[in-house]
């Protein structure tokens, strides 16, 4: 793509940006967009590096209760399990132990609460939530007395944070597949924005000194 | 790093070695090299540039790519000197070329006249080290103007009736207003207050080969990919490099200033990236390592001649630390603000800059700003109202509804200088290089806490006037975490109650200068970087004068 074509591309891609504004900030926009594009290209195709397929199923099942799929997509559609897997093999190596030890403890709680079931993924959604509430220290739900499982509690908290991060991270950095998390929270996936930004500044008449404001009353 | 830099040998006795390349160090590197001196800047962090910056919240916010690392550089904290300090992360600062100015919010108010003479005006405050500065606002005014024009500050002169006098307007208009700014402005005016466009060290127009802000939304905490944020990296460091007399040497962790038998500084000892030790010789040493690392370096440099640490005959190196009081009140509105777009702050007000202690019952003053400084992940962890579920369907629904409808009012205020509040060397904990870790001792003065609560009440009033659907804040508590690192090697005329004189020269060592947040005598009302940079420009003039008159080497 030569520079001129790229500019056309950006003009089309950057919805709501005026041509004058883009042209005034052209170099900066190009460098930012190219940079992001290169980062996106560097992503590897989804393939598990840390989890085995069975673990991945369980992790995804838990992540799906942390950010469920309802009228809008959730952790599953955002590919959070892939983000976590890659994270544990790279920046989050020190959390590997938390996952290795915590997941079996969590599964033990599943059998404690629902003796006929051995896997989290085998429970109905409400049952899954009940298991997770039993680890959530700050949960309001009534809790039965269970054997303390600090490993699983720590694991749940870590997985909660990783799921949220994988859902909301800039899609150029290995999670938030297709910008799904940002669509859910209403964040446009652009690398640059032009005023007006929101409802309250769209009709702002420009700065006026307070004295004039007082006269208007 | 496209500009050719000189490579000095460590045995070359350069004119100045500057320790730290941040807000102050960058300006001093630029000023001293421009004035013809040979300068080496030793920066403990890496030399990152625009190409290294990104929007990766994990890398930047969770892994401290741009900041001091809690594992390599652990800290301890205690409230008072009679306690044993416990390991806990106690401060954050920029650890890369450009320092904290790389990731800061870029709020760039000037201090007002009162900040320099407040002790004279209201009298002493028992139990504190409250004192006047040895310089006044008028002394600093030309340098505030220099900051605005040389590094690039956006703003509107005369928009605040409380602004101190200025010799020139801003070099460029304010940044666009955000929805948070409009809500703030309209509500504040209803209350009879005087909001104004925030002065920001972010370009509203392209300038000097740098782009205007493109409102990407990853600002506070992040490095700017398009050089619109006027960090030392994007401005002064590059000007210094262009002189051909300044070498920026990254990954150089200074841990000792050497002195000779005459009590003069001879250079700085540092670890390189491979932890080999070097001594960079210099005719004079300028420490701009920030309000925590500057006193730490002086204390680490203790020797037989200076048993309490270098330049510490007063015993107050590290003490009278001020962190600025304040906190945040958050509000939610009916319609989308989309405040994630753009820089953090677009409106400020200074109606409460100077409160009358007789009327309010405490010392202090402050400013309010309208902002949204969250990114998506940080919002999910810190931006939702108290009581929101932390996971599940309702959590997701809250995220989806609130992300675009939330704004914050940040309350910034004074801190009183207390002798007990300090950075010092922890007697037990070591950093990854085997050096004593930083220990923070801090307990806010009761007036600082009263001020915080008073300002919170104003922010709540403002949200009420604005018709916020929800608003909340957490009680103002004693601080245990330092961001603004002020006053720990303060300036003064009396060597018993200050560390440096008004030329930034230490009272004890003739060729040792300190300039950064540690130099401040009072805390201002928050937002210290503008003043730190004005001081650095002024220090550049003063030090150049001394050097040219032969008064440093004599």
Q: pLDDT tens across A159-172, in order?
A: 999 999 999 999 98
pLDDT, residue A31, reads 55
Asked whether residue A15 carries a pLDDT value surpassing 60, the answer given is no
Q: How far is Cα of residue B270 from the mean position of the Cα atoms in its chain?
A: 24
For the segment B47-51, the average pLDDT, to the nearest whole number, is 95
End-to-end alpha-carbon separation of chain A, Å?
56
Q: What is the mean pLDDT of chain B?
A: 97
Least confident window among A33-42, B139-148, B283-292, B450-459: A33-42
pLDDT, residue B4, reads 74
Please check whether residues A88 and A28 belong to one and the same domain.
no
Q: Are B97 and B45 spatial neighbours (Cβ–Cβ below 8 Å)? A: yes
Task: Determine, yes or no, domain membership for B469.
Answer: no
pLDDT, residue A47, reads 77
Asked whether residue B40 carries a pLDDT value surpassing 50, the answer given is yes
Q: In three state form, how does the secondary structure of B322-380 look?
A: ECCEEEEEEEECCCCCCCCCCCCEEEEECCCCCCCHHHHCCCCCEEEEEECCCCHHHHH
pLDDT, residue B3, reads 61
Please check whether residues A25 and A60 belong to one and the same domain.
no
Q: Does B333 sit within 8 Å of A200, measured CB to CB?
A: yes
Rg (CA), chain B: 22
pLDDT, residue B517, reads 98
Residue A76 lies in domain = 53-185
CATH classification of the domain holding B541: 3.50.50.60
pLDDT, residue A217, reads 38
pLDDT, residue A123, reads 97
Q: Does A28 sit within 8 Å of B399, measured CB to CB?
A: no
In terms of DSSP bridges, do strands B75-78 and B436-441 run parallel, antiparallel, or are they unpaired? parallel
Task: Determine, yes or no, domain membership for B452.
Answer: no
Chain A contact set for B194 (CB, 8 A): 210
**In angstroms, what separates the C-alpha of A164 from chain B's closest C-alpha?**
7
Asked whether residue B329 carries a pLDDT value surpassing 80, the answer given is yes
Distance CA B133, CA B114 (A): 10
Task: Determine, yes or no, domain membership for A215.
Answer: no
**In terms of Cα–Cα distance, which of B36, B46, B157 is closest to B99?**
B46
Per-residue tokens: B496 = 């018993």
Asked whether residue A5 carries a pLDDT value surpassing 90, the answer given is no
Task: Determine, yes or no, domain membership for B21.
Answer: yes
Number of domains in chain B: 1
Sign, CA dihedral B201-B203-B209-B211, equals positive
Please check whether residues A70 and A172 belong to one and the same domain.
yes
Number of domains in chain A: 2
Please check whether residues A22 and A128 belong to one and the same domain.
no
User: Closest partner residue to A25 among B194, B214, B335, by Cβ?
Assistant: B214
Q: How far is Cα of residue B457 from the mean position of the Cα atoms in its chain?
A: 26
Please check whether residues A33 and A117 belong to one and the same domain.
no
Please check whether residues A36 and A65 belong to one and the same domain.
no
Q: Does A31 sit within 8 Å of B225, measured CB to CB?
A: yes
Task: Determine, yes or no, domain membership for B393.
Answer: no
**In terms of Cα–Cα distance, which of B78, B339, B201, B379 is closest to A198?**
B339
Q: A111-137: per-residue pLDDT in tens?
A: 999 999 999 999 999 999 999 999 887
pLDDT, residue B62, reads 87
Q: B81-94: per-residue pLDDT in tens?
A: 999 999 999 999 99
Please check whether residues A57 and A37 belong to one and the same domain.
no
Q: Does A159 touch chain B (CB under 8 A)?
A: no
Task: Determine, yes or no, domain membership for B408.
Answer: no
pLDDT, residue A206, reads 94
Assign A46 a pLDDT band (cuts: 50, 70, 90): low
Distance CA B175, CA A196 (A): 12
Task: Determine, yes or no, domain membership for A200.
Answer: no
Please check whether residues A82 and A158 belong to one and the same domain.
yes
Asked whether residue B532 carries a pLDDT value surpassing 50, the answer given is yes
Chain A contact set for B214 (CB, 8 A): 25, 28-29, 32, 191-193
Q: Are B184 and B347 spatial neighbours (Cβ–Cβ below 8 Å)? A: yes
Residue B516 lies in domain = 1-104+109-152+231-314+488-554
Per-residue tokens: B460 = 């709540």
pLDDT, residue A209, reads 87
Task: Determine, yes or no, domain membership for B446.
Answer: no
For the segment B408-428, the average pLDDT, to the nearest whole number, is 98
Task: Determine, yes or no, domain membership for A18.
Answer: yes
Higher confidence at residue B46 or residue A14?
A: B46
Task: Determine, yes or no, domain membership for A92.
Answer: yes
Q: Are B503 and B134 spatial neighbours (Cβ–Cβ below 8 Å)? A: no
In a mutational test of the A interface, the residue from B181, B209, B332, B341 whose CB has the highest number of chain A CBs within 10 Å is B341
Distance CA B535, CA A18 (A): 41
Q: Does A201 sit within 8 Å of B181, measured CB to CB?
A: yes
**What is the CB neighbour count within 10 angstroms for residue A49?**
12
pLDDT, residue B30, reads 98
Listed in sequence order, the residues at least 6 apart from B332 whose beta carbon sits closer than 8 Å to its beta carbon are B385, B402, B405, B406, B468, B469, B470, B471
pLDDT, residue A152, reads 86
Chain B contact set for A185 (CB, 8 A): 376, 379, 399-400, 403-404
Distance CA A74, CA A70 (A): 7
Q: Does A166 touch chain B (CB under 8 A)?
A: no
Please check whether residues A140 and A59 belong to one and the same domain.
yes
Task: Determine, yes or no, domain membership for B148.
Answer: yes
pLDDT, residue A22, reads 58
Task: Determine, yes or no, domain membership for A214.
Answer: no
Task: Determine, yes or no, domain membership for A37.
Answer: yes
Task: Determine, yes or no, domain membership for B183.
Answer: no
Please check whether residues A13 and A88 belong to one and the same domain.
no
For the segment A92-119, the average pLDDT, to the nearest whole number, is 94
Residue B512 zone, left/alpha/beta (φ > 0; ψ -120 to 50; rest): beta
Please check whether residues A113 and A81 belong to one and the same domain.
yes
Q: Are B116 and B133 spatial neighbours (Cβ–Cβ below 8 Å)? A: yes
Q: Does A124 touch chain B (CB under 8 A)?
A: no
pLDDT, residue A91, reads 84
Give percent of chain B with pLDDT exceeding 90. Answer: 97
Per-residue tokens: B316 = 């107050």
**In angstroms, what separates the C-alpha of A25 from chain B's closest C-alpha?**
6
For the segment B488-494, the average pLDDT, to the nearest whole number, is 98
What are the start-end ranges of the H helices in A67-169?
80-89, 96-113, 125-133, 150-168
Asked whether residue B206 carries a pLDDT value surpassing 50, the answer given is yes
**In terms of Cα–Cα distance, which of A27, A198, A210, A62 is closest to B228?**
A27
User: Closest partner residue to B176 among A161, A195, A200, by Cβ?
Assistant: A195
Give the max Cα distance, chain A.
76
Chain A contact set for B50 (CB, 8 A): 31
Task: Determine, yes or no, domain membership for A179.
Answer: yes
Q: Are B492 and B520 spatial neighbours (Cβ–Cβ below 8 Å)? A: no
Q: Are B109 and B242 spatial neighbours (Cβ–Cβ below 8 Å)? A: no
Asked whether residue A45 carries a pLDDT value surpassing 80, the answer given is no
Please check whether residues A63 and A37 belong to one and the same domain.
no
Task: Determine, yes or no, domain membership for A7.
Answer: yes
**Model confidence, pTM:** 0.93
Q: B210-235: per-residue pLDDT in tens?
A: 999 999 999 999 999 999 999 999 99
Q: Does B206 sit within 8 Å of A193, measured CB to CB?
A: no
Asked whether residue B34 carries a pLDDT value surpassing 50, the answer given is yes
What kind and span of H or E run contains B18? strand B14-19
Q: Does A204 touch chain B (CB under 8 A)?
A: yes
């Amino acid at each position: 793509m030569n520079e001129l074509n790229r500019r056309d591309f950006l003009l089309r891609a950057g919805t709501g940006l005026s041509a004058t504004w883009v042209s005034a900030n052209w170099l900066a926009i190009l460098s930012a967009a190219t940079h992001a594009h290169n980062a996106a290209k560097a992503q590897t195709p989804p393939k598990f590096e840390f989890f085995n397929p069975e673990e991945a199923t369980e992790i995804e099942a838990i992540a799906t209760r942390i950010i469920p799929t309802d009228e809008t997509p959730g952790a599953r559609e955002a590919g959070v399990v892939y983000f976590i897997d890659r994270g544990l093999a790279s920046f989050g190596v020190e959390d590997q132990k938390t996952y290795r030890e915590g997941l079996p403890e969590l599964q033990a709680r599943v059998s404690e609460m629902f003796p006929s079931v051995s896997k989290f993924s085998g429970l109905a959604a409400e049952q899954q939530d009940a298991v997770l509430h039993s680890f959530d220290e700050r949960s309001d739900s009534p809790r039965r007395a269970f054997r303390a499982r600090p490993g699983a509690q720590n694991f749940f908290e870590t997985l909660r944070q990783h799921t949220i991060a994988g859902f909301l991270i800039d899609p150029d950095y290995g999670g938030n597949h297709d910008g799904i998390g940002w669509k859910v929270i209403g964040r446009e996936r652009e690398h640059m924005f032009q005023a007006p930004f929101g409802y309250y500044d769209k009709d702002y008449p420009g700065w006026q000194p307070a004295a004039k404001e007082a006269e208007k009353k | 790093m496209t500009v050719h830099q000189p490579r000095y040998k460590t045995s070359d006795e350069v004119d100045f070695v500057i320790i730290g390349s941040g807000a102050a160090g960058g300006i001093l590197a630029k000023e001293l090299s421009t004035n013809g001196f040979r300068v080496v800047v030793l920066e403990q962090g890496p030399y990152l540039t625009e190409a290294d910056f990104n929007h990766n919240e994990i890398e930047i916010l969770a892994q401290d790519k741009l900041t001091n690392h809690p594992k390599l550089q652990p800290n301890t904290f205690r409230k008072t000197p009679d306690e044993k300090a416990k390991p806990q992360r106690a401060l954050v600062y920029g650890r890369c070329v450009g320092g904290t100015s790389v990731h800061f919010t870029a709020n760039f108010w000037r201090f007002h006249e009162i900040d320099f003479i407040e002790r004279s005006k209201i009298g002493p405050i028992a139990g504190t080290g409250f004192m006047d500065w040895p310089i006044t606002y008028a002394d600093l005014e030309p340098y505030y103007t220099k900051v605005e024009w040389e590094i690039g500050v956006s703003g509107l002169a005369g928009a605040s009736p409380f602004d101190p006098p200025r010799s020139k307007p801003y070099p460029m208009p304010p940044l666009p207003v955000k929805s948070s700014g409009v809500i703030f402005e309209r509500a504040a005016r209803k209350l009879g207050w005087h909001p104004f466009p925030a002065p920001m060290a972010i370009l509203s127009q392209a300038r000097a080969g740098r782009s205007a802000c493109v409102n990407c939304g990853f600002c506070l905490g992040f490095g700017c990919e398009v050089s619109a944020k006027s960090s030392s990296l994007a401005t002064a460091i590059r000007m210094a490099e262009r002189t051909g007399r300044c070498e920026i040497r990254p990954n150089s962790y200074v841990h000792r200033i050497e002195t000779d038998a005459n009590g003069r500084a001879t250079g700085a000892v540092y670890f390189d990236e491979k932890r080999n030790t070097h001594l960079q010789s210099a005719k004079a040493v300028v420490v701009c390592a920030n309000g925590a690392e500057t006193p730490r370096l002086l204390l680490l440099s203790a020797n037989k001649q200076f048993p309490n640490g270098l330049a510490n005959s007063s015993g107050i190196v590290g003490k009278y630390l001020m962190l600025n009081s304040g906190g945040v009140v958050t509000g939610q509105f009916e319609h989308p603000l989309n405040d994630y777009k753009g820089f953090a702050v677009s409106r400020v007000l200074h109606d409460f800059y100077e409160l009358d202690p007789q009327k309010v019952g405490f010392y202090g003053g402050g400013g309010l700003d309208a902002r949204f400084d969250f990114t998506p992940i940080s919002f999910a962890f810190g931006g939702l109202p108290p009581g929101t579920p932390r996971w599940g369907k309702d959590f997701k629904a809250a995220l989806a509804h609130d992300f675009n409808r939330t704004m914050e009012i940040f309350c910034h205020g004074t801190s009183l200088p207390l002798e007990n509040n300090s950075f010092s060397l922890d007697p037990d904990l070591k950093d990854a290089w085997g050096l004593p870790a930083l220990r923070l001792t801090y307990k806010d003065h009761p007036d600082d806490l009263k001020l915080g609560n008073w300002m919170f009440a104003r922010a709540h009033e403002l949200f009420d006037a604005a018709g916020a659907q929800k608003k909340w804040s957490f009680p103002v508590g004693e601080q245990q975490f330092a961001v603004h690192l002020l006053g720990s090697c303060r300036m003064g005329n009396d060597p018993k109650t200050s560390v440096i004189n008004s030329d930034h020269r230490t009272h004890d060592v003739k060729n040792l200068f300190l300039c950064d947040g540690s130099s401040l005598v009072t805390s201002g009302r928050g937002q210290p970087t503008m003043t730190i940079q004005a001081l650095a420009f002024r220090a550049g003039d003063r030090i150049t004068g001394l050097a040219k008159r032969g008064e440093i080497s004599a």
